[in-house]
Structure 1
Amino acid sequence: MANFKYSQVADWLKNEIYSGNYPGGVKIPGEEELCVKFSVSRQTARQAIKVLENQGLLYKVQGSGTYVTRKIQGPPLRSEGKERRCIGVIVNSTGDYLFPFLIQGIHDALHQRGYGMQLFLSSQQILLEEQFLHNVLDGGVQGVIMEPVKSALPVINDGLYEKLTSQLPVVFTQPLHTPYPASAVTVDDRWGGELLVKHLLDKGHRNIGAICKMDEQTGMRRYEGYMRALLNLKLMVNNERVIWYTSETENEIFAGEQGDRLWEKIKDCTAVVCHTDRVAFYLIRFLADRGIRVPEDMAVTGFDDTEYAGMGKQITTIIHPKEMFGRKAAEIVLKMIEEPGYREDYCFSAVLKPGKST
């Protein structure tokens, strides 16, 4: 059974590499993510990675992770001379904990219909996004699934967005202020924020702070839900209890002077709503270092129902559909290809998952 398990993980990774989901130079999911995805031990995940290292497909970078070898000789094509059908997928980060699940959902739906996938990593960089938009416009893909760079901010590549959506079927994975002839798949983040505040009120909390992400629409909508709930429920609204961060500053919010400032803002709160499970997880550790017990002294909520929600203390969170989300985006872009002019905006409902952090 152990051999079967590590072979299963190795085969999945190999397929992801050869299908282009993890192109040369891209970091693969870490051992911890593989353990969660396949319900295996760290030893099994490590063994699977070692197999592909020995085959020359992967290499390790000390202190960083495991990456795909830049020049991969792929397996023979099954249908020589047949036109390759491919969907371009532009994402901001492979390090985001939702990434493996979203990509798996996209891959499964496309693979069932005979489509491949070309992955572009924009790293929240406007210039990289511009380059990738030119790449997909130059041909080779029949449609695009796209996570916009810094979706809460003005669209800098608006001319390319307009050109892209006029020439190809496009599905955005975050809502945008500016309308384009495209589809979108989202989660009801605003309602998720409201659900968390209502849950905390039911637990007796009235002084509720928040840690919010300001450069993505998901952050703005979760903040909107948090604020609307405070107002509707006649709870105290205090801007000093809201801590903002960006994609670039996420790793700094609990460190040094930033951590001291955060503590000054939330120390009088009895509960804090966090933008993600990961932020909630590190907040709980931050509070523990100060002798603050969760949930006895302060309740903490997350968002997305990822592995962080189950590490240590089970975190109260909002469920993100992950693979279903990716699959839906792929299904919509394929329908747009088959039915020119078709558009669909699909929003997954927010569902509360209570945990032991509240």
Structure 2
Amino acid sequence: MKAFLILEDGTVFTGTSIGSTREIISEIVFNTSMTGYLEVLTDPSYAGQAVVMTYPLIGNYGITPDMESARPWPDGYIVRELSRMPSNFRCQGSIQDFLTKHDIPGIAGIDTRALTKILREKGTMNGMITTNENYNLDEILPKLKEYTTGNVVDKVTCSEKNVLKGSGKKVALMDFGAKNNIAKSLNARGCEVTIYPAHTSAEEILGANPDGIMLSNGPGDPKECTAIIEELKKLYASDVPIFAICLGHQLMALANGADTHKMKYGHRGGNHPVKDLSTGRVYISSQNHGYVVDTDTLDPKVAKPAFVNVNDGTNEGLEYVGKNIFTVQFHPEACPGPQDSSYLFDRFIQMMGGNQ
């Protein structure tokens, strides 16, 4: 069956329908990872977006147990070529069946290089995936321009708290759309991790006397999370060590008077170089974000830049002055991507006083 990807600038790509045949409007973003497509599909940070995979062949090892949440989150999936015969000893099915099962529409067989160049040159834009061959651009384009992702954190956070048992430090993980490997990375270091829904009050978290607080990644515009930001102000005022990733990094900055803004096309992939400003060392990182902290709005008495993106100079991390708080824009838990910066979890353990 034919499928069409219609961008808000009027560009139309024609390909083959994969997964569900329902029609969707979403923000179109691209990911440059060469592997790890299942982790991308199951990353809650993609809620409210349709993902273009720039690597041309997707699905060759099928669906495996390497999921970062219980289900896929993107609104849509866009690929050049979908593997017809996945092969891997851990394979549990095909991407096609996976998308169909979870009612996610997609399109294959389009020139994803040309599409990515458009998004890089013009910036991220909204689009529609449809199987309707009688589509009317005059009706569709206004709808595309009006679409916004809104507050999607409420959609992806857990509904109740749960605990990963451990014999070491007790960590409260605020779930704004957390990838599984954040909790696993802490648990593997002996931590007992209690995962809290996004709107849990600071009083409840501090009342449990955690040794440290982890703020997770998540989807959408951080400025939409006004209630969460108010709770983070209270957590900041405590003396509990805090480590934040991605959306958590942005929310902590907003809670302390800094500003964020939307990037032209964001950083999404497993090959982004970041520089540690304290050592000068460069790490290759996994990233997935469309917003960034504006360091010009930082109060130098509150926080200072700790990491910078080598490609475009944007902020990749902050260290808070006089506080046991540091935050990063990239993903030290990887999945997908390199594990170069996983040492940051060890740094967090040390901030909490080690696991003794």
Q: What TM-score results when the alignment is normalised by the length of structure 2?
A: 0.31
Rg larger in structure = 1
Higher helix fraction (1 or 2): 1
Q: What TM-score results when the alignment is normalised by the length of structure 1?
A: 0.30
